[in-house]
Chains A and B, each alone.
Chain A
Amino acid sequence: MELAEVAVLGSVLALFLTSAVIAVFPRRWQRWSHIPCVLALFGSSIASLAAIWVGIEREMRIPWRWLDLPGPVTEVVLQFDGFTPWMLGIVNLIAMLVALYSMTYMAGDEGYRRYFSIFTLFVAMMSMLVLVGNLLLLYLFWEGVGLCSYLLIGHYRTQRASTAARKAFLVNRVADVALLIAIILLAWNWGTLNIRDLIEQVTVKREEASATLQIVAVLLVIGAMGKSAQLPFHIWLPDAMEGPTPVSALIHAATMVAAGVYLLIRMLPVLVVSPVALMLGSWVGTVTAVVAGLFAVAEWDLKRVLAYSTISQLGYMFAAVGIAISGESNFAGYVMIFHLITHALFKALLFLCSGNIMHATGGVIDMSRLGGLKNQLGVTHWLFVIGGLSLAGIIPFAGYWSKDEILIGLAKSGGNSGGWVIVMLLGVVGPLLTGLYIGRAYWLTFQGDGAEVPREKDNESLWEVVPPLVLATGAVLAGLVLGPGRVLAGGLGIGLPEEEGVSFVPAVALAFAALGIVSGMMMGRRARGGTPSGWHAWYGVRKAIENGFYFDYVLFHGLGHVLGAMGKAVKLIDEVVIDGGLSAIAAVSYRVGNFIRQIQIGEIGFYAVSIGLGILVIWATLLLTFGMQ
């Protein structure tokens, strides 16, 4: 075992341990709870960076079985491949920065200890999810990540927070059922759940691309859609804003939603067998990217804008699985993780910025009440600009390079998938919408006079600035270094296909993004005037968009009501029909008994007469039946 491996494994174990240690901290040490967390995360970041540097690639089988199922091999397998250290690196690095940020953001919170304990557990779960090479174990940590996000979203323990937390868990659970079925089917049909063995079996025996495998592939994509908040499972993510803002940064950048994309990357060689599943993923991603962008344009809550933006960007990553249709699963994996990394950097940055805004305004995040913050929060303003430009995909910021690779890849495989529509949607409409919402959000928040903005405090404190500054550096440089510098492709060990001339797609996307930003800022300026002009004629459409096309109403509230009504109906049946029926039987026998009881009057004479009459009746009956013959 190499040193880097030991370091990585040790640091993940240390994270679990740290979480437990923080959980049992004495209450008077509560305000020091962040120290073990930050230290552990620092260690794990260093370890994973070292792993990237060394470039480990191996599989470790640990002689312990979690669930001993007979057919499938369910031993614990840790799989280091090209993707693992990169994923670990981005998870731990962002988590560490967010933890540093949380120190001031969460200061004075009564649940400070609980926050950092779950926070550390969250990162540990995600790290394990990245490391394990066995689907059943992956499911364990998959749900573990879901649990931590449930607990953190509900951190403030208000009614709204708990509703949002429950929603996140339930929506994920529905998608997780798909993943669970896929796992059972794989175990049953292929006798193993080790990802590497599965890939081997599937790629070697191509002819076994049976109907079952097709179903499994589709189910895997559906499972990933839940965690990565793709349509129609996206409804949980905007509500998850009820959690503390750093938690949003964590969920959106590193620990939660990335899991779905990561599952797809891991399983790409299996998914390749099923073009249906790839098409499904690609189309769902594309539609999500566009529709979520649309929702973001109509949203007034800054954090919800960012949430929809995450959904939209994850849509890009999902759409990229379409590249694998032409068989280039490696390249698809590369662009997906590339965008995942850059997105993690700039989205965490944007969320930390919004955290600063909330602190400065005393929790106000409604953009109709914000404005003019560029004077008050000078540093945050520039950080937000960097994040926004990167998100919109403006050259040379990180977002440009990764989105560019997705578009080029899709355009190349466009002939195969018939997906030119996808390319058009992602290359033209997507950037336009992205520019629109981020430009609008920027203007509404930072420009204008902002006389009515509540002011809690001026300027940011040190630890409110340092973590986002690091992230901003990443958002500026990461794309250039990782993409054109070929660092990421080299690190992953992927030979990129030759560039066949300069594709025009990125240029078009860039142009539309720029157009979007400008129009978005204009839109924000006009909205500031109070008249949502230009929207009137489209009132119905606007309402529909503002309500997120009623997904939430129909899928969540609607289903909730249906379930509730069914429950009430069943309860009624239970109480009235089943229990009532039995009570009725009991009542009838009671009545009959009561009636018959009246014969027992206790008079010996009456009894004697009855006996005599009875004998007579019996005698007569006997006579009639036998005597007549």
Chain B
Amino acid sequence: MAEAQELVAFCILSMVALPLGVGIGFIVRQGSASNAGMWIAMSCFGAVVALWLAIIVAMPTVFKKNGGENEFEALVIVGLSESAGRSGFFDGVLRVDRVNIWLVGMTSVLSLCAAWYSLFGEGQRVLDYYGWLLVLESGALATFLAESLLVFYVAFEFTLVPLLFIIGMWGGPQRRQAALKFMIYTLAGSLLSLIGIVAVAYGFSGVTGRALTFSISDLLNLSSRGTRLPLELQYWAFLALAVGFGIKVPVIPLHTWLPAAHVEAPTAGSVLLAGVMLKLGAFGLLRMAVPLLPDATRVVGMSVGAVMAAGGIVYGALCAGAQEDIKRLVAYSSISHMGLCVLGLVSGTTLGVTGGVMQMINHGLITGALFILVGCVYTRVHKRNMSELGGLAKVAPRWAGFFVFFCLAGLGLPGLNGFVSELLTIYGTLISARVQWGAFFGLAGIVLSAWYLLTMVMKVCYGETRLPTTASVSDLNKGEFCVLMLLASLCIAIGLFPGYLIQELMPQSRAIAALVSGSSP
């Protein structure tokens, strides 16, 4: 038992430390990459996935015994329940539980895929590029695994730096503006969330009369045992947190950085931006805003928040339908899908919250794959406009097969992963007390997503090709094929066997739902 915990703690620490160390090393060293360098980078990405798998294997043994600390300052606790009499500024650094481990898994897999694709698809062979990708992965993992609010904030903020470099150095022609916009937007958001975080921590210390603690576990425990901040403070703190995280998600109307950043980012950047960065915001809502400020969630989140989320579903979908550039289309579809995710998170039902978390994972896999597919086209023909493509099913059947597949997953075909989270979220919303109307926006999203995704498939894959006859288009190479195959099999696996994942996510969702819908002051 103790060994298992130590093992998990070690794995978690190395998951964050290894990519960070290697990444910084790469960045310092610079220069074009030798084969050895590439091998090191790839094995580093692979090692993180392996560590995650090790944790997954060890998890059942760890969680049989409820919680407990260990000497590595990593904290392994179960759900919302366990934490005993610690206090201090940095109570623990990292925590792993049944929810964030899956987001960690998605991050590690997507990072591997993004790097793999960059190496074998786009042929990017610059050492510091992979360095920044590794640093980004480390930052994202630290955010998901954070135990202290301050660690969360620092890691959340820190992910900006590598992404900024990735967009600013390897992006498209407008990369400077896009990077600047992205930075200012998210920096403003993060400052707001810092205010919110500090307000929450001080608020709880004031209410309980105990020493100041930034430990998420402690705060969650306090909240689940009925400690509530004064309503006034809750509202303001919720507003600060929600706007801060909402920019990252993004919730309309705070989203305009997203299309610009996506269009300019290199493919790996887009994959991680959509797959991982957006989830950081949603994760902030899940971890902090909703369970720590339940009354505010009930009042503000279920009204204003739900309106913005549900509106975002339709808004993003309509915008996606009007796009000509397929990368922008996928970017806007992210807004639509993340709207559904936020709607589930604030619905206050077990199913809704579970669906929201599932949506984070599924959206990451599907959109990541779609960005890779768009990247495959762009590296070959340097075109992304639907009116300039067309007929790709004839020239690149494998590519088209994957493209259709991931579009189907995105539009929620039963049997693939997108459907699971859509069904759970819509179900949860429909049976919720206050946001029932939101379900109809979710259903509208189901129809609209089919509309814009299949229209894209029609224009890009079918018909006669509009590419210049001189363009020779090759089908997917082996590297790209492997990456997409991996993502596709994950989509199928989650789509056909979602039971285990749902069971794992359900307890915490139930606790959060009980907090939000439960006793009001």
Which positions in A face B, CB cutoff 8 Å? 65-70, 139-140, 142-144, 147, 154, 157-159, 161-163, 165-166, 169-170, 173-174, 177, 180-181, 184, 187-188, 563-564, 566-568, 570-571, 574, 578-579, 582, 586
Contact = CB atoms under 8 A, between A and B. Distances in A.
B314 to A, nearest CB: 9
26 contacts: A67-B423, A67-B502, A69-B351, A147-B408, A158-B462, A159-B458, A159-B464, A162-B461, A162-B462, A162-B463, A163-B458, A166-B457, A169-B450, A170-B447, A170-B451, A170-B454, A174-B447, A177-B446, A184-B426, A563-B448, A566-B318, A567-B322, A570-B322, A571-B319, A578-B252, A579-B256
Interface string B482-499: 000000000000001011
A226 to B, nearest CB: 12
Given A158-B462, A563-B448, 15 more contacts: A67-B423, A139-B414, A154-B462, A165-B458, A170-B451, A180-B423, A180-B426, A181-B430, A184-B423, A184-B427, A187-B427, A188-B431, A563-B318, A570-B319, A571-B319
B502 to A, nearest CB: 5
Given A162-B458, A169-B454, A144 B415 contact: yes
A570 B451 contact: no
B430 A184 contact: yes
Given A69-B351, A69-B427, A181-B443, A568 B322 contact: yes
Interface string B364-407: 00000000000000000000000000010110000000000000
B25 interface: no
Nearest to A139: B414
The listed residue with most B CB atoms (<10 A of its CB), out of A159, A170, A567, is: A567
Nearest to B184: A586
Given A67-B420, A166-B455, A564-B321, A158 B463 contact: yes
B206 interface: no
Contact of B256 (A166, A180, A574): A574
B32 interface: no
B430 A563 contact: no
A157 B413 contact: no
Q: Which residue of B252, B253, B394, B430 has the most chain A CB atoms within 10 A of its CB atom?
A: B253
Contacts of A586: 184
B499 A563 contact: no
Contact of A578 (B256, B321, B502): B256
Contact of B443 (A154, A166, A177, A566): A177
B474 interface: no
A67 B498 contact: yes
Contacts of A144: 414-415
B323 interface: yes
Given A140-B415, A147-B413, A188-B431, A173 B447 contact: yes
A570 B454 contact: no
Contacts of A170: 447, 450-451, 454
B350 interface: yes
A114 to B, nearest CB: 8
Interface in B69-88: none
B243 to A, nearest CB: 14
B465 to A, nearest CB: 11
Contacts of A180: 423, 426, 443, 446
Interface in B127-146: none
Contacts of B408: 147
Given A68-B502, A140-B415, A143-B414, A582 B463 contact: no
Contacts of A159: 458, 462-464
Contacts of B393: 157
Contact of B318 (A140, A165, A570): A570
Interface string B408-438: 1000011100001001101100110000000
B83 to A, nearest CB: 27
Interface of B: 184, 252-253, 255-256, 315, 318-323, 350-351, 391, 393-394, 408, 413-415, 420, 423-424, 426-427, 430-431, 443, 446-448, 450-451, 454-455, 457-458, 461-464, 496, 498-499, 502-503, 506
A180 B443 CA distance: 9
Most buried by A among B393, B414, B427: B414
Given A159-B462, A162-B463, A582-B256, A574 B319 contact: yes
Nearest to A114: B397
Contacts of A142: 414
A173 B453 CA distance: 13
Contacts of B253: 578
Nearest to B422: A180
Given A159-B464, A173-B447, A578-B253, A66 B496 contact: yes
Contacts of A177: 443, 446-447
A67 B351 CA distance: 12
Closest 4 pairs (CB-CB, A-B): A567-B322, A162-B462, A159-B463, A567-B321
Contacts of A578: 252-253, 255-256
A146 to B, nearest CB: 9
A174 B450 CA distance: 10
A567 B319 contact: yes
A409 to B, nearest CB: 35
Scoring B393, B455, B506 by chain A CB atoms within 10 A of each residue's CB, the highest score goes to: B455
A186 to B, nearest CB: 11
Nearest to A580: B256
Nearest to A150: B454
A184 B427 CA distance: 6
A107 B458 CA distance: 26
Given A159-B462, A166-B454, A578-B253, A67 B499 contact: yes
Contacts of A147: 408, 413
Contacts of B462: 154, 157-159, 161-162
B322 A571 contact: yes
A71 to B, nearest CB: 9
B451 A563 contact: yes
A259 B503 CA distance: 32
B443 to A, nearest CB: 5
B392 to A, nearest CB: 10
A159 B464 CA distance: 7
A177 B430 CA distance: 14
B411 to A, nearest CB: 8
A347 B415 CA distance: 31
A165 B454 CA distance: 9
B315 A570 contact: yes
Contacts of A174: 447
B415 A563 contact: no
B397 to A, nearest CB: 8
Nearest to A189: B431
A451 B315 CA distance: 57
A70 B463 contact: no
A140 B461 CA distance: 25
A568 B415 CA distance: 33
A560 to B, nearest CB: 8
A166 B458 contact: yes
Contacts of B424: 69
Nearest to B498: A67
A173 B422 CA distance: 14
Nearest to B400: A157
A163 B448 CA distance: 16
A147 B450 CA distance: 12
